[in-house]
A and B are shown apart, each in its own frame.
Chain A
Amino acid sequence: MSSLFTSTFSDGRFTITFDRPDSAANIFDPATLQALEELVDSVTRLPSAKSLVFRTAKDSIFVAGADLNVLENASPEDLEMFLIQGQRVFQKIAGLSCITVAEIHGACLGGGCELALACDWRVASDDRSTKIGLPETQLGILPAWGGSSRLPRLIGLPAALDLILGGKQLAGRQAKKLGLVDGVAARERLGTLTDQLLAKGKPKRPSHWLTNNPLSALVIRRVAGGKAQARSRGNYPAIDAALQVVSQAVSGSLTDSMTRERAAVRILATSPEARQLLRVFHLQERARKFHFSPDPVTPNTVSRVAVIGAGVMGSGIAQWLAARKIPVLLRDIDPARVGAGLRSVKQLFSDAVKHRVFTETEAHRLSGNVIPSATVVPMQSIDLVIEAAVEDLEIKRKIFRDLAGRTRADTILATNTSALPVSQLAEDSEIGRRDRLIGLHFFNPVARMQLVEIVTTPHTSPEVVETALAFVRKLGKLPVVVGDRPGFLVNRILMPYLIEAGRLFDAGWDAKLIDEAMLDFGMPMGPLRLLDEVGLDVALHVAHTMQGAFGDRFAIPQILDRLVQNGFFGRKTGEGIFEHKKSKGKTVSDNALVRRAHGTAPANLPEKTAVAERLALLMVNEATRCLEEGVAHSEDDVDFAMIFGTGFAPFRGGPIAWAKALGWPVVREKLEALAAREGEAFTPSDWIRSQPG
């Protein structure tokens, strides 16, 4: 067990270096904690020990946190033991008479951060990999190895709540600004900082009396609670629990506070919310690793990319690639379009600078990776082409025929279409790339949406799928492999839901009722607002394509047609269902109200929960059809794609997990009742009917 870390002792300094064998990460499991405890005990017995320093031997991880397996699989008794064990070890570290320093380099999260908080001093490297934080609430629990208690004492209650409730992860310099660490330097110079701090002895910390007194804590708690409630709408019990535990931590004893930490986690760990959030975490990890082909296939490297079309999507994709150091040719038919695309690229880079993703110098250098072209240029060096031209099959056909003649035979041709059939392009004999033409569907806005759908056809070669997977991961995006049916997976499931929301609005329902219902349900945005954001014209186009393929459950509510005909496209034109200029989207647009089929709402409108259920059930219904048709390859894929592609309430675990929690028979019953009343869009799929129960 001693190989979990190495330790040295010289000149009164004890150094513990975390180095978990056969792993890139250091984590805390019971065995590691036990070994650490023994070592700390031995330091206690060493009278000559003047200082204890923690560091890591890994490239990008200090300690990533507690072993999630224990959290998920341990019995309540074992979990309690694990909590007590961690608290005890860190208490022992905090109680050492020698001076303790954590030299943080790489991810220092959860339990890793709590260890650092138990030290006298903390220093952090300025490396990109250094992230310090307590993200437990994002997994449905809270920091319970003293983190919820020590952090507010160290940096003050408001900052601690901000970090813990938001699950924020800080770079070294940000942590320094908050007082979470005492110094920042290059990794190689952390030792120098340690020497300087050790010379100062034990630290004297500010008391934060202004914020950390019981009265202030009460006020702060109310304000922070209000903010958190606005975001979580009471759907995340961990947020409420953390708010309570952290606010109470500033008064009374540390031991009592840590008892409250444990009590909270005992309840949270078994909550359905925590189960689903942990599952979402695993689904995300799976997307970072999984292979589509059963046989191992080596992906090709994609080092040069061309993007055809410099519109919103094309320039968004080009900017994202450029920011990941991939040279990208941005091609459009005339310099004005290319120029407009470059302007968007530049805007996206300035946004990234504003959000401190890049420095000015980095952004300037990276933006040079976009190579503009308004003329036909050689493409022999291009490994992947992403077409992001207008959504017109004939135009795309023309583009790909031309590309096929000018690229290498092994170049992958991809379309970023959001609804058109990829197979029709793949099977085009004049393009002649059936095994290498796929869909690569980025979502708008590219810089913010993590999911990328990889659309395969029956002809797609396994090597192309693996190359696409590796490429999407290299971009820092999350891939999901989906089948080629109109709308693919995410838009397919989303569309009936958006259409129904539009239909209800058209029938005189209050727009706020519809959107609020879904916000309460846990969606990041109401469906009507989402329509405005996507653009009513775009939604209409996608819905048309899908209506052609799947029939009238994709019939467009007339209100959308009327708004588009009158030039109200949503946020981009300043008005759609909502008014986006004066009221910034807060009020419903008069132009939408007067164009509804029914101006007044029917009597006896249902409760918000019933509205949400009705809308969410449509997503479930469509999701199961995707499973039937092989558009989605697994239930996990559906949930994963909906959460990362649309922000579907993560604590519910996605549409399938939500339906399962209701129970398939209940889902079927409710859908049948709705179908009888509202029409066949609600008729349960064969898949739902065939579920046992």
Chain B
Amino acid sequence: MASSDNQLVILDGVRTPFARMGSDLAGIDAVELGRQAVVALLARTGLDPDLVDETIFGCVSQPAEAANIARVIALRAGIPKSKPAMTVHRNCASSLESLTSAAEKMAAGRGQIYIVGGTESMSRIPFYYPQATAEKFTALSRARSLGQRIALMAKFRPADFAPRIGLKMGLTDPVVGLNMGETAEVLARELGITRREQDAFALASHLKACASSGKLAEEIAPFYLPDSMAGFMAEDNGPRANQTPEALAKLKSVFEPGTGTVTAGNSSQITDGAVALLVATRRRAESLGLQPLGRLVDYAWWGCDPERMGLGPVGAIRRVAATSGLRPDQADTIEINEAFAAQVLGVAKKLASEDASLTIPMEKLNPNGGAIALGHPVGATGGRLILTALKELARNGGKRALVSLCIGGGQGGAAWFEREA
């Protein structure tokens, strides 16, 4: 890792409330989600925007109208035009990637203060026309005479207007052709994870998230909605306080009808939200006189079989243990993203069976609930895990946090953080 001076420290962070797809934030695009997160971050830190060297944001489904969404967010949030911005994409770990990218730039002496984070409006992932339809439209736009236009219009068929759903395409692995939920079913089958285990895990996620709503509020800035009567939204709307095991048990398997175990109830929620973190080199943080929340100790990326993408954390945690010497039992809090209950349980099972020293202490895992309750706005989740973990360390007085995610396409990421006392 970098010399102590150039080490990345996290100064502060804030996120929007997370809202289920199609709910309170459905009318808000990913730019506005990200903008409000960055504006709230700048307001609460009082940082002069002129000091920001670069803005790096993750976003999985970048809106067509905001190419390089990080730049659009930075400009809209009042970061000076002279400060560059870039968007990173590592699927579900995009906003962890934004942080590790900043760390690498710091280590290389390229900059000292970054705003990193992620944003995702899953409500607004577009529907697409089939390629054949698009070709017909193109031909139509080139038509010269009215006659040509009428002739071309007559060629359209109802099937031309059947959309290809962007969200569905994004959640399907193009290489192996499996939907993410189907990859979770693979793990459940191969590792023998039962429906009951998955539902119990999901229920716990909801219960923990509801019990922790006060704690989670520490990381949330109200999201302002000038167009709605409420005027703002201040809490996540995913966690269900009234969730019962019976209700979970009733849900049907989505990805393997009839025989499967993965349901909407034990999968992560599809969600809108954004998170922003202010990070700096240790030296710069000291010169600003700001007390960091924590520092990035080490991290690792790992590739695995796309068909078993949910096991990505296994390799990543193993690898970062090799470079840093840190094992899960040394963590005071652990955040592993709950893409699917089957997948998190699979990771735990696999780690314990492969190398007992890397066993996940389950009582330290996701103490405030996870994506099954809070939701998984894919581009923003990594940042949320870091923020939740660091705030948890500050609350419980612990020292180390482990953050890990599985990544669609067959990857895993893991990072260790230490609280700065």
A327 to B43, CA, bound (A): 11
Residues B224 and A338 in contact, CB atoms below 8 Å apart? yes
For A340, give its contact among B35, B45, B222, B231 (CB under 8 Å). Answer: B231
The answer to whether A342 and B43 touch (CB under 8 A), given A335-B232, A368-B78, is: no
8 Å CB contacts to A: which residues of B220-245? 222, 224-227, 230-232, 234
Residues on the A chain within 8 Å of B224, using CB: 335, 338-339, 342, 372
Indicate if the CB atoms of B77 and A368 lie closer than 8 Å.
yes
- 8 A Cβ contacts from A370-411 to B: 371-375, 377-381
How many of chain B's residues have a CB under 8 angstroms from any CB in A? 21
Compute how far the CA of A371 lies from the CA of B39 in the bound complex, rounded to whole angstroms. Answer: 7
State whether the Cβ of B168 lies closer than 8 Å to any Cβ in chain A: no
Q: Quick check: A346 and B76 within 8 Å, CB to CB?
A: no
With a CB–CB cut-off of 8 A, which chain B residues contact A371? 39, 42-43, 78
CB distance from A328 to the nearest CB of B (A): 11
Is residue B258 contacting chain A, with contact meaning CB distance below 8 A? no
The reply to whether the CB of B257 lies closer than 8 angstroms to some CB of chain A is no
B147 within 8 A of partner (CB): no
Q: Is residue A345 within 8 Å, beta carbon to beta carbon, of the partner chain? A: yes
A327 cross-chain contacts in B, Cβ below 8 A:
78
Chain A residues with Cβ under 8 A from B226's Cβ? 339, 342-343, 345-346
B110 at the interface (CB under 8 A from A): no
Report which of A338, A369, A381 forms a contact with B222, defined as CB distance below 8 A. Answer: A338
Q: Report the Cα distance A343→B227, complex, angstroms.
A: 7
Residues of B within 8 A of A542 (CB): none
B164 at the A/B interface (Cβ < 8 Å)?
no
The reply on B363 being an interface residue by CB < 8 A is no
**Which A residues are in CB contact (< 8 Å) with B46?**
377-381
Is A336 located at the chain interface by the 8 A CB criterion? yes
Find chain A residues with CB under 8 A from B39 CB: 368, 371-372
In the complex, A681→B46 CA distance in Å?
A: 52
A400 to B: closest C-beta gap in Å: 19
CA distance A345 to B226 in the complex (A): 9
Distance, CA A372 to CA B48, complexed state (A): 16
User: Of all chain B residues, which has the CB nearest A382?
Assistant: B46
Q: Is B189 an interface residue (CB 8 A)?
A: no
- List residues of B (33-59) whose CB comes within 8 Å of A's CBs: 35, 39, 42-46, 48
Q: Which of B44, B78, B222, B227 is the one whose CB lies under 8 Å from A335?
A: B222
Contact B45 A368 (CB under 8 A): no
Q: Which residues of A contact B78 (CB under 8 A)?
A: 327, 368-369, 371
Considering the complex, give the chain B residue whose CB is closest to the CB of A349. Answer: B226
Contacts A342-B226, A378-B46 given; does A365 touch B232 at CB 8 Å: no
Check A338–B232 contact: CB distance below 8 A: yes
Complex Cα distance A636/B45, Å?
47
Query: Measured between alpha carbons, how far is A373 from B45 in the docked complex, in Å?
Result: 12
Known: A365-B76, A368-B78, A371-B78. A335 touches B231 (CB 8 A): yes
**Cross-chain contact B43 with A339 (CB below 8 angstroms):** no
CA distance A537 to B224 in the complex (A): 30
Q: Which residue of B lies closest to A380 (CB)?
A: B46
Interface residues of B in 62-119 (CB under 8 A from A): 75-78
- Asked whether A339 lies within 8 Å of B231 as measured between CB atoms, the reply is yes
As a 0/1 sequence over residues 309 to 347 of chain A, the CB contacts with chain B under 8 angstroms (1 = contact) are 000000000000000000101000001101110110110
| Cα A336 to Cα B230 with chains together (Å) | 8
Of the candidates A342, A368, A379, A381, the one whose C-beta lies within 8 Å of that of B231 is A342
CA distance A340 to B222 in the complex (A): 13
Residues of chain B within 8 A of A340, CB atoms compared: 231
Closest-by-CB residue of A relative to B35 is A368
CB-CB < 8 A to B234: which residues of A? 335
Residue of B nearest to A329 (CB): B43
Give the chain B neighbours of A379 by CB distance below 8 A: 46
Interchain nearest-CB distance for A409 vs B (Å) = 16
Q: Given A342-B226, A371-B39, are A381 and B48 also a contact pair (CB < 8 Å)?
A: yes
Contacts of B225 in A (CB 8 A): 339
Q: Once the chains are docked, how many angstroms separate the CA of A290 from the CA of B224?
A: 41
Residues of B within 8 A of A329 (CB): 43
User: In this complex, which of A345, A369, A371 has the most chain B Cβ atoms within 10 angstroms of its Cβ?
Assistant: A371
B75 to chain A, nearest CB (A): 8
Chain A residue contacts of B76, Cβ below 8 A = 365, 368
Chain A residues with CB under 8 Å of B43's CB are: 329, 371-373, 377
Docked Cα-Cα span, A379 to B48, in Å, equals 11
- Most chain A CB within 10 A, of B77, B224, B227, is at B224
In whole angstroms, how far apart are the Cα atoms of A365 and B81 in the complex? 13
**Using Cβ atoms and an 8 Å threshold, which residues of chain B touch A377?**
43-44, 46
Q: Roughly how many angstroms separate A375 CA and B232 CA in the complex, as a whole number?
A: 14
Which one of B44, B48, B231, B234 has the highest number of Cβ atoms from chain A below 10 Å of its Cβ? B231
Residues of B within 8 A of A336 (CB): 231-232
Please report the C-alpha to C-alpha distance between residue A327 and residue B77 in the assembled complex, in whole angstroms.
10
From B39, B43, B44, name the one whose CB has the most chain A CB atoms within 10 angstroms: B43
Residue of B nearest to A327 (CB): B78
Which residues from B are CB-within-8-Å of A375? 44
A346 and B32 CA atoms in complex are apart in Å by 14
Give the residues from 198 to 253 in chain B that come closer than 8 angstroms, CB to CB, to chain A: 222, 224-227, 230-232, 234
Query: In the complex, what's the smallest C-beta–C-beta distance from B64 to chain A, in angstroms?
Result: 17
Bound Cα distance A381, B225 (Å): 27
How far in angstroms is the closest Cβ of chain A from B135? Answer: 31
CA–CA, A470 and B357, complex, Å: 68
Measured CA separation A428–B370 after assembly (Å): 51
**A378 neighbours in B (Cβ, 8 Å):** 44-46
Chain A residues with CB under 8 Å of B77's CB are 368
Q: How far is the CB of A310 from chain B (nearest CB, A)?
A: 10
Which among B42, B76, B226, B230 has the highest number of chain A CB atoms within 10 Å?
A: B226
Nearest chain A residue, comparing its CB with the CB of B222: A335
Do A374 and B48 have beta carbons less than 8 Å apart? no
What residue in chain A is nearest B234 (Cβ atoms)?
A335
The complex places the Cα of A346 from the Cα of B224 at a distance, in Å, of: 11
Distance to closest chain B CB from A424 (angstroms):
30
Q: How far is the CA of A335 from the CA of B75 in the complex (A)?
A: 24
Output the least CB separation between B404 and chain A (Å): 32
Q: Which residues of B contact A380 (CB under 8 A)?
A: 46
CB distance from B233 to the nearest CB of A (A): 9
CA–CA, A436 and B231, complex, Å? 35
For A365, list chain B residues within 8 Å (CB).
Answer: 75-76
Q: How far is the CA of A340 from the CA of B228 in the complex (A)?
A: 10
* Chain B residues in 8 Å Cβ range of A373: 43-44
Shortest CB-to-CB span from A338 to chain B, Å, is 7
- CB-based nearest A residue for B75: A365
User: How far is A375 from B42 in the complex, measured between Cα atoms in Å?
Assistant: 13
> Which residues on B sit within 8 Å (CB–CB) of A335?
222, 224, 231-232, 234
**Across the interface, which residues of B come within 8 angstroms of A368, CB to CB?**
35, 39, 76-78
Q: In the assembly, what is the distance between CA of A377 and CA of B12, in Å?
A: 13
In the complex the two chains form, is B232's CB within 8 Å of A339's CB?
A: yes
> Which of A329, A340, A368, A379: most chain B Cβ within 10 A?
A368
CB distance A343 to B35 under 8 Å?
no
**From residue 122 to 159 of chain B, which have CB atoms closer than 8 A to chain A?**
none
Residues of A within 8 A of B42 (CB): 371
Closest chain-A Cβ to B104's Cβ sits at a distance in Å of: 30
- Closest partner residue, chain B, to A369 (CB atom): B78
Contacts of A342 in B (CB 8 A): 224, 226, 231
Chain A positions near chain B (C-beta within 8 angstroms): 327, 329, 335-336, 338-340, 342-343, 345-346, 365, 368-369, 371-375, 377-381
* Contact sample, A vs B, 18 pairs, CB 8 Å cutoff: A338-B232, A339-B225, A339-B232, A340-B231, A342-B226, A343-B227, A346-B226, A346-B227, A368-B35, A368-B76, A371-B39, A371-B42, A372-B43, A372-B224, A374-B222, A377-B43, A378-B44, A378-B46
Closest 7 CB pairs of A and B: A378-B46, A339-B231, A335-B222, A339-B232, A346-B226, A335-B232, A343-B226
Q: Which residues of B contact A (CB under 8 A)?
A: 35, 39, 42-46, 48, 75-78, 222, 224-227, 230-232, 234
7 additional A-B residue pairs with CB within 8 Å, beyond A342-B224, A343-B231:
A338-B222, A338-B232, A345-B226, A365-B75, A368-B77, A368-B78, A377-B46
